[in-house]
Amino acid sequence: NKHQEIQSSGKGERFSSSGFIFAAIGSAVGLGNMWKFPYITGQYGGAAFFLLFVACLVIVGLPVLLAELAIGRGGRGSASSSFVKLSGKKVWGRLGMVSVIAPFVILSFYAIVAGWTLHYALQAFSGKLVPNTDFTLMYDGFMASYTPILWQVVVLVLIGAIVVKGISGGIEKFNKILIPGMFLLLVVLMIRALTLPGSGAGVSFFLNPDFSKLTPESTLVALGHAFFSLSLGMGTMITYGSYVEKRQSLGTATLAIGTGDLLYALIAGLIIFPTTFSFGINPGQGPGLVFIALPAAFSAMPFGSFFGGLFFILLAIAALTSAVSLLEVPVKYTMERFGWSRTRSVWIIIIGCFIVGVPASMSLGVSPGLTLGGMAFFDWIDFVASNVLLPLGGLIVTIFAGYFYKGVADEAGLTAVWFRVWLFLLRFVAPILVVFVFLHSSGIIKF
């Protein structure tokens, strides 16, 4: 059919080379960098954990990222069909389905949290972050209302409207504006945070190396986070890779994306801890850190509404640029598989995310009875997607690129020596470590 012709002749849509880097950094930098990375770093040993994270990123993250990009560009298909095109075996397409379903599931709850950030940005700018407010009460009240669902719809419609416009006219344009914009916001907020009285205590909490906290567990947490943070195992980098021009160097792109991801995470930590510590607020963790401790800190500083608003806009941008990459995965798959138009694919997937997302959102407040496996439905889908499907998707990529993808050397375009190092990491190091991450994060082994 016509669609397949366009695909195989390689005349489909393409990113410009800088557009691709921005879009990939947009995908990588998300809520993972802005709240998860800072608090796990604080919890697992500060700078010691940071170094461990860098090691995981370099030894496992970057090799798998390069593998995903190579599979995408080599196959020029979806996160499922690219495998089939490169191996001639249908079974790989079925395995690839893990990486088509996972982003759909992740998006269903990612859009919810993205909605919270927009709500809090509005709260901040409209002057609701006043001193001596009980921000726990404010958060609980918000959760117990139907307002989160409203914001979830706003987010879903917003990202749908971007992805409908396609690769160069939609995803690329959006990221090219917002990623530099996000950097600006990060720098402004970092300067504000580091010049607060007593901010040094926060910096040392974040970056003081405590090597005694490095345990097998912290290693697996660092590894799992390296995967999540680089958007691996979700089909996003395979999908984005399918839009990359042949002449672009994937090795250079991999380094640029890794550096960008690390830099944004580091700056996020240099905002969050100095800000909370300066006001003697316990940073806590998870949603409590971002939606309770930080609003409290912002409410106590001069021009706090303004800086708080900027901070939540920053979070919203980070979340939206990641959400867009998640959406593109099932969109590309359904367009290719069912011959749907982009418009049709986008809105059908968006409606699907809404249907899964509403009970997920309600399970956190309005309907606490919505549980599965002893967890709130929201936590359950996060658990299944992040701890089960994501490592599984990553494992499939390393095994495929390491053992079954014949033309991988050409596509990766590395020098002979680097290629050997890369292949070794893909064949032996990454799969073993990913299996451990899976066993640990899915709760099968404990320390």
User: Where along the sequence are the contacts to ligand PHE (CB under 6 A)?
Assistant: 27-28, 30-33, 103, 228-229, 231, 234, 236, 322, 325-326
In sequence order, the 6+-apart residues with CB closer than 8 A to the CB of 431 are: 395, 398, 399, 402
Handedness of CA 111, 139, 191, 231 (dihedral sign): negative
Here the contacts of 192-195 (C-beta below 8 Å, separation 24 or greater) are 192/271, 192/275, 192/301, 192/307, 193/270, 193/271, 193/272, 193/274, 193/275, 193/278, 194/270, 194/274
Closest CB to ligand PHE among residues 326, 396? 326
For residue 234 the two structure tokens come to 């979700």
Token pair belonging to 205: 């909490």
Q: How far is the CB of 62 from ligand PHE (least distance, A)?
A: 14
Provide, rounded to whole angstroms, the least separation between the CB of residue 57 and ligand PHE.
12
Nearer to ligand PHE, 124 or 327 (CB): 327
Q: Please tell me the number of Cα atoms within 13 Å of 252 on its side-chain side.
A: 8
List, in order, residues 6 or more apart from 263 with CB less than 8 Å away.
none
Nearest to ligand PHE of 37, 120 (CB atom): 37
DSSP state of 77: S
Q: Which is nearer to ligand PHE, 99 or 199 (CB)?
A: 99
DSSP state, residue 197: T
Nearer to ligand PHE, 194 or 388 (CB): 388
> Considering beta carbons, is residue 99 or 299 the nearer one to ligand PHE?
99
**Minimum CB–partner distance for residue 28 and ligand PHE (Å):** 5
Sequence-ordered alpha helix ranges (H) in 215-290 = 216-229, 236-241, 250-278, 287-288
Closer by beta carbon to ligand PHE, 110 or else 380:
110
Q: What minimum distance in Å lies between the beta carbon of 89 and ligand PHE?
A: 26
Nearest one of 122, 146, 125, 124 to 133, comparing CA atoms: 124
Please, is 197 exposed, middle or buried when counting C-beta atoms within 10 Å of its C-beta (0-12, 13-18, 19+)?
exposed
